[in-house]
Amino acid sequence: MVCISDYKHADWSYYRYKPSVQVNVVFIILFGITTLLHGFQIWKTRTWYLSALVIGGVGRLMGAMQDPGCWTMGPYIIQSLPILLAPALMAASIYMILGRIIELTEGEHYSLVRKQWLTKIFVMGDVLSLLLQSSGGGMMAISSLSKLGEKVIVGGLFVQLIFFGCFIAVAAVFHRRMAAAPTPRASDPQVRWTQYLTTLYVTGILILIRSVFRVIEFIQGNHGALMRSEVYVFVFDGLLMLVALAWMNWFHPGEIGLLLRGDEPIKNGLELVKVGREKRRRSQTMESLSSGNVAMATSNRNAEV
Residues 115 and 106: beta-carbon distance below 8 Å: no
Q: Which pairs count as long-range contacts for 182-187, CB under 8 Å and 24+ apart, including other chains? A: 182/105, 183/105, 183/106, 183/107, 184/106, 185/104, 185/105, 185/106, 185/107, 186/105, 186/106, 186/107
CA distances to 84, 130, 261, 282, 305 from 89, rounded to whole Å, are 10, 8, 25, 36, 69
Mean of pLDDT values over 38-67? 60
Residue 3 backbone dihedrals phi, psi, to 5 degrees: -95, 140
* Same domain, yes or no: 117 and 85: yes
Domain count for the chain, please give it: 2
* Same domain, yes or no: 140 and 234: yes
* Same domain, yes or no: 98 and 151: yes
- Indicate if the pLDDT at residue 15 is higher than 50: yes
Residue 12 lies in a domain: no
* Same domain, yes or no: 303 and 167: no
Collapsed DSSP state (helix, strand, coil) of residue 9: coil
Sign, CA dihedral 167-170-174-176, equals: positive
* Same domain, yes or no: 94 and 239: yes
* Residue 145, domain CATH: 1.20.1070
Give me the DSSP letters along 223-274.
TSGGGG-HHHHIIIIIIHHHHHHHHHHHS-THHHHHHHTTPPP-SSGGGGGG
pLDDT on residue 283 = 45
Residue 5 lies in a domain: no
Give me the domain span that covers residue 282.
Answer: 274-305
Residue 149 lies in a domain: yes
Choosing from 266, 282, 297, the residue where a domain stops is 266
Q: Outline where DSSP puts E strands in 73-118.
A: none
Residue 237 lies in a domain: yes
* Same domain, yes or no: 198 and 287: no
pLDDT on residue 136 = 87
Contacts of 149 (CB under 8 A, 6+ apart): 135, 136, 137, 138, 139, 140, 141, 142
* Same domain, yes or no: 104 and 194: yes
Residue 165 lies in a domain: yes
pLDDT on residue 163 = 92
pLDDT on residue 30 = 87
* Same domain, yes or no: 164 and 294: no
* Same domain, yes or no: 245 and 147: yes
Residues 5 and 41: beta-carbon distance below 8 Å: no
- For 103-119, the pLDDT digits (tens) are 999 999 999 998 888 88
Task: Give helix 275-304 / helix 21-45 axis angle, nearest 10°.
Answer: 30
pLDDT on residue 280 = 43
Confidence of residue 58 (pLDDT cuts 50, 70, 90): low
* Same domain, yes or no: 282 and 258: no
Compute the distance between CA of residue 61 and CA of residue 281 in angstroms, rounded to an integer: 44
* Same domain, yes or no: 106 and 86: yes
Residue 272 backbone dihedrals phi, psi, to 5 degrees: -60, -25
* Same domain, yes or no: 293 and 212: no
Contacts of 282 (CB under 8 A, 6+ apart): none
- Indicate if the pLDDT at residue 209 is higher than 80: yes
Residue 10 lies in a domain: no
Characterize 226-250 residue by residue with b for buried, 16 or more Cβ atoms within 10 angstroms of its Cβ, and e for exposed.
bbeebebbbebbbebbbebbbbbbe
Higher pLDDT, 272 or 102: 102
Alpha carbon 188 to its chain's center: 28
- For 251-300, the pLDDT digits (tens) are 888 788 788 888 777 778 778 766 544 444 544 444 454 555 544 445 55
